Chain A
Amino acid sequence: MLSTPVSNKPAPQSEPLLDVRGLSVSFGRGTSAVPVVMGVDLRVGRQETLCLVGESGSGKSVTSLALMALAPGGAEITGGQVLFEGQDLTAMGPAALGKVRGRRMAMVFQNPAHSLNPILTVGKQLGEIYAWHTRANRRETRERVADLLRQVGITDAHGRLDQFPHELSGGMKQRVCIARALLCDPALILADEPTTNLDVTIQAQILDLLDEIKETFRTSILLVTHDMGVVARMADRISVMYAGRICESGEARAVFRDPQHPYTRALLDSTPRIDMRYEPGARDLPAIGGRPPNPAQRPDGCQFHPRCAEAGEDCRALLPRMTASGPGHAVSCLRRGSRVEENAA
């Protein structure tokens, strides 16, 4: 498909809730610094779910932490802006950040068993956060925490307040984590693979819960996942990440109906479908050959070219940049007519 010019109509939505521009994160410093996230642009509108998709090691978890101006040990945000409700989080001091984190923007982690403090009761650790942000007294805090536990579908919410995380099941812990994220009515929830460590049936319940929350709490959700099934179910918009860069982004329907980047196509093709039969030898589930590049030794040109069937000579040398390919749809692929990144080697 050839690239179509950007539509002339002005974008219907107003200023997005979250506008990430050119975010870059590196591990280490100086000459030995290894970039893991490079020039990532993301946009999340109000009450919208953006799915950030990519395989393990593509930098999506590091990106989601960086959106909170947090970085895992040894990593550092080296460039770009995270504009959230009009403010740049990367330029804020710790005190100002403390008023955004947990209050306006909250996070749900991949492993609920690890993201709760094992030696504090549910009531204590959730209450501490609420009391810190709102200066509420003990009774109000307890009521608020119990109320939220009830809203995320936990039975006997008052009794759970005095339980420790290890006394709860995995799905229940993740509900507690979601309740923790909702304590202060945030505008945005970052959910980093929130269902990956759960049973399939529990996964479905947690996804339903997230959808419900979006309506009742009027929040936006940035969902980081590698699971195309989850994406298909949840996403309003999709950004596909490969080797630290966004390679395609757009309205969910457009991306699913007409994937542009060869990587996105391969991802969709390698998702098992219930309406197809996979018999040995007859029709195998396609896989993407090769491995993502080592961040310390990246190939020149398009990062995907070593694994891409369509790659040509130009792909080995030139780095494509995100270019509109249709209304609300952008891709960075030379085969789709993307422009070339000028300042790249």
Chain B
Amino acid sequence: MLVTQFIIRRLVFSIFLLFGVSVIVFALVNAVGNPIEILLAERPGISQQAIDQMTAYYGLDQPATTRYLMWAGNLLQGDFGTSIIYNQPVWQMMTSWGLETLKIQVPGILIALALATAMAVTAAMRQYSRVDFGVMASAMLGQSLPGFFVGILLILIFSYWLGIFPSYGAYSMRSPLWGSHLLDALWHMVLPVAMLTFFNTAALTLLMRSNLVDILRHDFVTAARASGLPERRIIYGHALRNALIPVLTYLSLLFGLMLGTAPVTETVFTWPGVGYLYINAIQQLDYPVILGVTMAIAVMLVVVTLLTDIAYVLIDPRIRLD
């Protein structure tokens, strides 16, 4: 099957998927209640007239189906609506806050991939040795510690005790570090990226080590050794490439669910990213933001899965696109 044909078919299928997601999310948000009532619950002084006015302004007096159609219609034209709390266009908010999320998530995944590769190769080449057990034990420990716990631990050690890294935010409020905005941004990124790296490395290492151990037992690895190729080439050129195939799925999930897992990190470090925005929106029932971010998560997952499937075909010739 042609790659373009495959992509078109998947995209058509994705439309139905995204439609389903939008209906479910809209219904759920709708079931929670009227955001105006929640917003004004602790302000008894506001007149009924003002409440009616606001309800009409946001179109909340319309039946749910009408509101869904309006929202979906606007969405198709690229209009995500306006945040109730911030009174800003949702799209604009998502892009600026989303950039902050990518700033910590992408390095968190890529550094983890590099570390995990190095550790998995070291461990797999000396299977059942002390090094191997050491790597496995620390990876399992890392995986069983909850992410937020590691984050709080990092803050305790590096911010509270040692005072070398900031515990919250993406930028300094007053003067940037050493007068450089770039250094200041990097300085703030250290702890959140460390937390994400720690968490991602653990799972990736375990996965890669077990794949590598399995691949190293294959005849083609023995055959490569019997052909006189040096061990480094065999590990990196033959074994690792085969071992990475199953890791690709996990990696794509990390990328695809990046926005979905962001809230934990961004809450711990008060990081101005999409995750932080999402959690706040849910707490205050800022429904245009909730809907927008949820749809963005769904779209991202669809796109990343599509790219992963294409990547599989490029890496593993045995896989066909059907």
Contacts and interface: CB of A to CB of B under 8 A. Distances in A.
Interface string B21-37: 00000000000000000
A111 interface: yes
Interface string B223-261: 111111111010001100110010000000000000000
B219 interface: yes
Given A114-B219, A116-B220, A164 B228 contact: no
B218 to A, nearest CB: 6
A94 B231 CA distance: 9
A119 interface: yes
B138 interface: no
Given A70-B226, A132-B229, A166 B317 contact: yes
Interface string A172-189: 000001001000000000
Interface size class of A (residues with CB under 8 A): 20 to 34
Interface string B197-228: 00000000000000000001111101111111
Interface string A97-127: 1111111001101110011111111000000
Given A118-B316, A119-B242, A119-B315, A129 B219 contact: no
A129 B227 contact: yes
A102 B317 contact: no
Contact of B223 (A72, A97, A116, A132): A116
Interface residues of B, number: 26
Contact of B226 (A101, A110, A119, A133): A101
B317 A117 contact: no
B230 A117 contact: no
A100 B216 CA distance: 22
Interface in A61-89: 65, 68, 70, 72-73
Contacts of B237: 128
B130 interface: no
Given A73-B217, A109-B219, A118 B228 contact: no
Nearest to A120: B238
Contacts of B223: 107, 109, 115-116, 177, 180
A107 B228 contact: no
B127 interface: yes
B228 A129 contact: yes
Contact of A107 (B127, B226, B231, B316): B226
A107 B228 CA distance: 11
B214 to A, nearest CB: 11
Q: Which 5 A-B pairs have the closest CB atoms?
A: A102-B228, A102-B227, A101-B228, A114-B219, A107-B226
Interface of B: 127, 216-220, 222-231, 233, 237-238, 241-242, 245, 315-318
Interface of A: 65, 68, 70, 72-73, 94, 97-103, 106-107, 109-111, 114-121, 128-129, 132-133, 164, 166, 177, 180
